[in-house]
Structure 1
Amino acid sequence: MILLQKQDYHKVTEHLRQITVNHLFARFIIEQKVDGKVFVDNPENPTTFYILHPYSMSLLFGNVDNIEFNSALVAYLLNTDKHRQTFEWLQAPEKKWQAFLSDTFGDRFVAVEENRGAVNDKIEITTRVNFKFNKEKFEAISAMITVDKQVVRTDTAHYDAIRGAVIPENFWNNRDDFFENGVGFTSLSDNEVASTAFSSFIFDDTLEIGIETAQPHKGKGYAFAACSALINYCIENNYEPAWSCKKDNIGSYRLACRLGFEPTFTLPFYRLNY
């Protein structure tokens, strides 16, 4: 695994376009919208790729037959040199790579519910779901549901107040970058940030939605209100809303369906320990 220099990221573009699952986080790196890392088998003519987002999401794809790369990959995934100090979530959308991972690490695989986040030598497996937005369904649902929450465009004060894992600062280089190139909507409870829906990635005509809700306000409609506002923004500005989540993230999965998204594709999702 060789670290690819940024000036050579263009060598990844055509290969990445062959990936059909949601990979906007990887594209964000390749087009240098956020700082990440790209590892390849050969920097001159790369055919195998491992793209790592700073939010600890990674994408593995390309040629599976490079023995030297694969050896380094196994050491990396097992964290043998202790380079990783946090969990990492890996997607390998191609069947050939899923087979390689199963053959190599099958005895270490464990279901998420069996490991429960323990730090050990196991690789947790869950399922990641890609959704497709159904505008007609969203509009029908919106017509039946009255949003009674105060929702405003996310400003700098809200940005600084948002707490949690899925928040803008984990997906954009900095606050200025987010407000210049992204967008968010925040639902308020007594002027306190209850939930924020924001663009985790924007490319061409697609906007991927990130959502974080403060613990005291979960299950009270604040996330639905914030997401609805962001989806309406997408519709008004000709963006296709995108949504992906773990299947066992029941809250996110149900919220997506309630907003008119329909599950279209699933793939294994590997949590790498450290």
Structure 2
Amino acid sequence: MAAITSFMKQNLLLEFSSLKHASPDGVYVTLTPGDPSLWSGVMFVRTGPYAPAILRFQLSFPPNYPSLPPLVTFSTEIFHPLLTPLTAQSYATSTMPDGSSPVEEERLPPGGFSLRHGFPQWFKGSSSNEVTSTPDVPVFRILEYMRAAFNDETVLDSIPSGSAANAGAYHAWHTYRAEQQKTQQSSGASHRRSNSRDAIPRARRPGEWNWEGVWEQRVQKGVRESLSEPVLFGSSNTGDEIIRFSDLDEEAAKQICNGITQRTAAAT
């Protein structure tokens, strides 16, 4: 990556400093030593469909930020409509079932998180010439959107197919929501008859896949793995390890918390 200017460096440091006073709940970030354009973060998903996952990510700011968005990548494998699978090269190489395809400028690496839905001002059209002004998007809003994408069902519902980084997760989520709605509307004997009919596999049309049950299975598996000891404590290849967890007992954790509280009080 090209070196950032001194002006951009100062802006990023100011953005980072502002998060000390206003940071999304459960989201923690730190700077890479010697490189303020690369941030490492951890998200604790406390509510919603992905709770209680613990997810690691990075934000990489390009030299022309904020004219262009940062690249957000997750090193924790999780099944999500806005996340390119870690085993995939780029979602932009494939076309969505409705014929839409993301523009070349938004090609994402494995683990890439799409910002197209949350911040369309960065992706207006397929050419940067169509952007008439620099988007005013503070990092706080990016982090808040990322948090909402994992703990707010309405955000997941609102993602259009053209903004999905993982077509499979997109269709699996909407199938899951349709089944939820069907269950809520059904009752008594009609509910049981409906369930018995739905349990019978139906023939797939060309290019169609049966997504029933896929979302629950894949997400639950990802959440469990994100909480596993190898992933949490770094004995497996989890990507960036600037933010590290320690396996402490309750007493040791309490002593550390007390020490932090005392140092904070002394500094104020």
Q: Which has the higher strand share?
A: 1
Give the TM-score, by structure 2 length: 0.26
Q: Which has the higher helix share?
A: 2
Q: Which has the larger radius of gyration?
A: 2
Give the TM-score, by structure 1 length: 0.26
